[in-house]
Each structure stands twice: as C-alpha cells, then as structure tokens.
Chains A and B, each alone.
Chain A
Amino acid sequence: MHFKARAGEKLRDTRLQQALAKAQGKFVHTRAEAILELENFEAYRDAAASIRDRVIRDLDLYLEQFEKNASARGAVVHWAETAQDVNRIVCEIAELHGVRKAVKSKSMVSEECALNEALEAAGVEVVETDLGEYILQLAHEPPSHIVAPVVHKTKDEVSDLFEQKHKKPRKTGIPELCREAREVLRPHFLSADMGISGANFLIAETGSTLIVTNEGNGRLVTTMPRVHVAITGIEKVVPTLEDIATLLRLLPRSATGQAITNYVSINTGIKSRDDSDGPEHFHIVLVDAGRTKLLGGVMQSMLRCIRCGACMNHCPVYQNIGGHAYGWVYPGPMGSVLTPVYAGLENALDLPNASTFCGECAVVCPVKIPLPDLMRNLREQQTEQGLRSWQERLALKIWAWTALHPGIYAALSRIAARILKGMAGGGKLLHYLPGGHGWTDGRDLPAPEGRTFRELYRERRR
C-alpha cells in the first residue's frame, strides 16, 4: 500500500484521530512555553546548527577521536556500514557473551535495521523496556513517532492490550497501567544478559554515549546487564561536553517541552574496580546505513538532525494522519527526507510531495534544517530521474509553455474564466470539475467572476 492509500485510511480511523488530536495540542503547546524560558532561543538554534555543521564537516576526525577515547575506557567500537551489518555485529556480540535475553531501551536506529527480528532469529529473547516501545512490542506494531512511539494509541487500547497480554484484571488509570508494566519489566532487567540502548549523542572528547529518557529504563538497561551495546548513527557525534550543554537546552524543549528530561545518562567505558555497577563489556555500534552518502551533497544539512520530533509535532499533515502512513521508521517532514534518501527515491515517491510547504517544520527545527527546501530538492531529483507520471509531466509542460506565451495564455484564461463560470450555472460554486475530483471530492470550487483582470483592465484604460 502506498502513502496516499494509507493516509486515506488513517483519516477515516476515528480512534487514531482522537489520539492524534490529543497529542498535537500537548506537544505544540508545551514546546511553545518551554522555548520562552530561553532568553534567546534563536541564538541557541544558530549555535546548535553550527555545532552540528562543524561535526559534519570533519566527521571522520571526530569519529576517530571518539573511538580512541571510548577504547581507552574499555569500550569496543564497531563500524556498521549497512543495516545488515548492525544485525550481524550485534548477534555476534550476543553469541560471544552467551546472551539469552536482552533488554532494550529506545533506539530508532535499531528500527532501521529491524534488529529485534534478527536477534530473535538468533535465539535471543528481546524485551523492549521503554513503555511506549513495550506496548508496541506487545501489539506487534511499529512506532508512529520517533519520540512518542505509541502516540497513535488511546489509553483504552492500552488497557485492552494489557488485559489480554498480561492476563490481569483490566486497569484504566495511567498510574495503574504504568505500575503493571513496571511489575512485568522488573524481572527482565534483573535476568537480562545484555542491555541494548541507542545514543542521542556521542561525545568525542570523552568517548561517552549519552541518552535522554524520562522513564529511567535507559539507566537500568545500560548498567544492570553485564553487556551493554549502544547503537547509533555516525552523525550523532558531538565534539565536547560544552557543546552537549547547548544541544541539551534545545532537545528536550523541542521534543516534549521539558527544560530537561527526567534522566540524562552519560555512559563512559566499562565498570572499573571501584564502580558499584556498570557493564563488564561495552560495545558501541556506529552505523552508516546511508549517512555518508549525504556528506558533501545538497542533503548534508539533514545530518544535523537530533531526532527531537518537533517537525512532525508541528506538521499539519502528520497531525492529521499520524506516523504509520509514512511507511518506514521515520515519519513527518524529517521522514519525508530521510526515507527517500535511505530507502531509495523510487521507494517513497509520495513522501517529498506530501507537503504543502507551509514551512512550520523549518521554523521549529532546533538545528535549522531547511526541510521544505530538502523536500523540494527531492522533487527535483524525481523529475530528473523520470519518476513522475506522464500525466503530470504533460500538465507541467502545457502550463510552462502557455505561461511563456502571454498572448495564448491570455486567450486561454479568458476562455477558462467563461467556461468555469458557465459550469457554475448562474451560481457561484462548481460542485464538480472533470479531472479535478482531487479538489471537488471534498470541496466546491468557487467560480471565477467571468472575465479576466487583463480584459477588464484594458477596457477600463480605454
């Protein structure tokens, strides 16, 4: 099924619409309030964008620095060129350490490679511990948002799901539901051999990985099991802790409207003799999976992305259809850029076109990624590669030719104004337009006045 068909389905899904309406108000409103706390939000955005640009310009240098410092603290850095490589590497690590159960905190990169399936095929039990991801694992659904993965579900749906899967009396209050999930998850933390996390940032100067979470599950995942595997994209590296301080002022505020998340965990190296907890083995898997293709090209600014989700929260298209319609891991405006870039232009033809270019995503993006411009660029690539329908190409050709021939253009507009007015039959509206059902299925077309400006202007001047 394609984006368009899925989007149509989502528009008719009343439960989803309820869930989306609730989430939208929350995200937009809380972010608006949170950014007011920063005296000069725009200056922070500039600073954040320039930190990210600096890294991307010298990505190899910072990655080498990161690897050196991480290794010095006993971590092992692995380089994964493709999604398959990630799965292979993590399965090998699991085998090496005799892992039978893995607990996982949220990692979108692991969604890119469908890691859970790969581990399960290798005989490793995987338990998602982020509440949202846990719910999705029970429901066998993919995330629909990069920060709030289960935003498409209502509380009632979660109550039903827990009752069915946990086989306990149905709970309806959010605290009770959370407690039940916690009770189920605790034993898993204690019995897991391996913890898998993502990383919001990699800190080059210390060789640390950093995660921001609100539930504390990330901290358990990264410290309790004897093996910790952190998986993230190579672009997530940041030079210094000082830079992190700048980015952390923006990330939670843009994502959830929080000044700071409940937990900010910095993991550096393996457990030392004096440490009371921490993993004995720390593996860091740095993933390319298409990212280096963006370097030096027109899409490079997309690598600045810090995965805050603000662009989707504020996107009027996402707000109305949710994330699943986009078809792959990343939804909303950032997904409409990343999916074609990572999964292939021809595999996501609708996405770059599914935007009104209202521009709100670029206004809210904390690292100033010009998302509409990138989508427009992808549209241009579609044209160059002959990926547009002949109907569309023909229509554009006709439009371009007439617009460049004013005499003919004027004559055609004169005719069109009259025909359309005639079709409204004395009324002011057209209810139906041959070939224009995309418009008239849901809207009337206000009829033209009947004569063009050009005609009337000439007459008045005479």
Chain B
Amino acid sequence: MRVGLFVTCLVDLMRPRIGFAALQLLEAAGYEVIVPDAQTCCGQPGYNSGDRSPAKALALKVLREFAGCDYVVAPSGSCAGMIREHYPRLFQDEPQQLEKISELAQRTYELTDFLVNVAKLQNVLGSFHGSITYHDSCSGLRELGVKNQPRQLLAKTPGLQLKEMRDCETCCGFGGTFSVKFGDISTRMADNKCNAIQASGAAAVVLGDLGCMLNIEGRLRRRGDNKTRVLHVAEILAGEEGT
C-alpha cells in the first residue's frame, strides 16, 4: 500500500524533522511512502481569507499529485481537515470534480488518526523520559475527531507520563492570519494556553499542528519559559525529538 506524505508548507519550511519523523512512522507501519516533490500548500490561507479560487486551484494540484496513492497522510489536523472537510465544499457545484475530490478527501488522514485507525500501529519507535501534556488542536479535534488517537500512541511510548492540562481543547489563538491580524487577542489566547501548560507541571507540551506549535513556543519563550519543551507528536513517536 502506498501512502503519500503531505508534508505541509510549515513543516517544509520550519521543521523538516517532523516530516522525517512522520515518514519513519509510516514506513515502520509497513507502508511504501512517497513524497510528491512539487507539493506546496493545501490552500487554507486563501480559503480562510475569503478567496476560493486559489484554494480550488491548489486542491486540484493536490488531487493530481497524490493520484497514485492509496492514502494521503499529513502531520497536521489543520491541513488534513482542509482536504477532508473543506475540499468537497469547494467543488459542491461541480459534480465531475466533486467525485474525485470526495474520493481524495476520504483517503486523507491526519497522522495519528491514520496510525491508529488504518495502520493499527502496535509499537512506537521512540521513548521519552518525563511528563508531557497534550494540546488538542482545533481542526484535528473538531473536524476530524482526533482526540484519543495521539493519546493512545503516546501511552505506548516507554517512559512517557501524560499529565492533562485544564482546557486542553481550548484554542491556542493561532488561527492562521488571525495571529498576525489580531496579534494582541491571539497573544492573550496563547497566554491562557501557556498558563494551563505550566500549571500542568509537565516538562513538555505535545501537539499535532505546526501553527499551534510556533504560537505556543513563541509565547512561552517570550514569557521567559525556556524550559518547557514544545514537541510535535510525531517527533516523540519516532524518537526524533532532537534537542
């Protein structure tokens, strides 16, 4: 079975190691992983800024690039949610495209969702010594129902102890361009999230989306917290959490 890895634009630019972690996990689960070279972005910046046409063009581009894959997997609930939930809406009035797009949507998964529900992964590659708390990213949680999947996998990780924080499902304030357009509101929301993370007493906050990751890490550091680590769930599961 072939899995196409949708790296996502933020992983490509900011955190390649998360892409490699995802790649390793998928290969460990027994899949042939292909990474289409010309992939760029899922189209959310346009779609959520009120411009459908680039989002549609990018949706068709994703469709073409991942045509030969049995599954498409992204280390992001946000991008996977865009493809699964929103691509079909973009083509609601175009029955010919809609069929293919819906079929793409149905074989697209967020990474932990895929590992648990499709790959039925038994063992994770990594280990982690210490406590973590998990932040549920909005799109993954509310659009794709990603809640127990990462926790199930983290529970298999030797040495890892999960300490849930309060309000773990509350938005961290990222919201794409919202984080820049409404910087002060976004910062306050990130602040609330940082308070909850610190109150949990965990050594690291783990999550499944790059946007939240940059937002939370950026705010923690600005507040002077250089200790709490901010890690993508794939990094932990693959044992690639670096330093």
Contact = CB atoms under 8 A, between A and B. Distances in A.
B183 interface: yes
Contacts of B38: 406
A456 B16 contact: yes
A344 interface: no
Contacts of B180: 436, 438-439
A451 interface: yes
B184 A357 contact: no
A220 B67 CA distance: 68
Interface stretch (B47-55, B103-111, B151-159, B233-241): B47-55
Interface stretch (A41-49, A243-251, A381-389): A381-389
Contacts of A448: 13-15
A342 B219 CA distance: 37
A441 interface: yes
A11 B184 contact: yes
Contacts of A436: 180
B61 interface: yes
Nearest to A376: B48
B187 A441 contact: yes
B50 A316 contact: no
Contacts of A451: 16
Interface stretch (B93-101, B125-133, B136-144, B199-207): B136-144
Given A358-B142, A449-B17, A383 B12 contact: no
Interface string B144-183: 0000000000000000000000000111011110111111
Given A359-B142, A452-B16, A442 B175 contact: no
A400 B15 CA distance: 22
Interface string B1-31: 0000001010111111101100000000000
Interface residues of B, number: 65
B14 A381 contact: no
A185 B151 CA distance: 55
A79 interface: no
Given A316-B170, A406-B38, A438-B181, A396 B190 contact: no
B174 A404 contact: no
B185 A379 contact: no
Contacts of A431: 222
B51 A396 contact: yes
A392 B185 CA distance: 19
Contacts, number: 189
B197 to A, nearest CB: 14
Contact of A445 (B9, B184, B218): B218
A363 interface: yes
Nearest to B182: A354
A439 B48 contact: no
Contacts of B222: 431, 442-444
B15 A359 contact: no
A360 B174 contact: no
A439 B183 contact: yes
Contacts of B37: 406, 454, 458
A320 B183 contact: no
A453 B19 contact: yes
Given A316-B170, A444-B221, A453-B11, A358 B181 contact: no
A360 B139 CA distance: 10
Nearest to A379: B50
Interface stretch (A140-148, A195-203, A330-338, A409-417): A409-417
Interface string B33-59: 001011111010111111111100110
Nearest to B43: A403
Nearest to B217: A446
B189 interface: yes
A429 interface: yes
Contact of A380 (B51, B170, B214): B51
Q: Which of B38, B49, B215 has the most CB of A within 10 A?
A: B49
B175 A392 contact: no
A103 interface: no
Contact of A320 (B51, B175, B188): B188
B186 interface: yes
B13 A379 contact: no
A88 B11 CA distance: 60
B201 to A, nearest CB: 21
Given A354-B182, A356-B175, A404 B218 contact: no
A400 B12 contact: no
Interface in A81-130: none
A437 interface: yes
A55 interface: no
A356 B180 CA distance: 11
Contacts of B61: 404
Contacts of B9: 403, 413
A403 B40 contact: yes
A439 B216 CA distance: 12
Contacts of A449: 14-17
Interface in A1-41: 4, 7-8, 11
Given A353-B181, A438-B181, A358 B138 contact: yes
A11 B185 contact: yes
Which of A7, A11, A448, A454 has the largest number of chain B CB atoms within 10 A? A454
A416 B13 contact: yes
Given A396-B45, A448-B15, A453-B12, A356 B174 contact: yes
Q: Which of B176, B179, B182, B217 has the most CB of A within 10 A?
A: B182
A403 B46 CA distance: 11
Interface of A: 4, 7-8, 11, 316-317, 320-321, 353-360, 362-363, 376, 378-383, 388, 392, 396, 399-400, 402-404, 406, 409, 413, 416-417, 429, 431, 436-439, 441-446, 448-449, 451-454, 456-458
The 8 closest A-B pairs by CB, nearest first: A356-B175, A442-B187, A379-B50, A400-B54, A443-B218, A438-B183, A438-B180, A358-B171
25 contacts: A11-B184, A320-B185, A320-B189, A353-B178, A356-B171, A356-B174, A356-B176, A357-B48, A379-B49, A399-B54, A400-B51, A400-B53, A400-B54, A403-B9, A403-B40, A404-B40, A413-B9, A417-B13, A429-B221, A441-B183, A442-B187, A443-B190, A444-B217, A446-B230, A448-B15
Given A320-B192, A357-B175, A381-B50, 16 more contacts: A11-B188, A358-B170, A359-B142, A378-B50, A382-B50, A396-B45, A399-B45, A406-B38, A409-B40, A413-B13, A439-B183, A444-B221, A446-B230, A448-B13, A454-B7, A458-B37
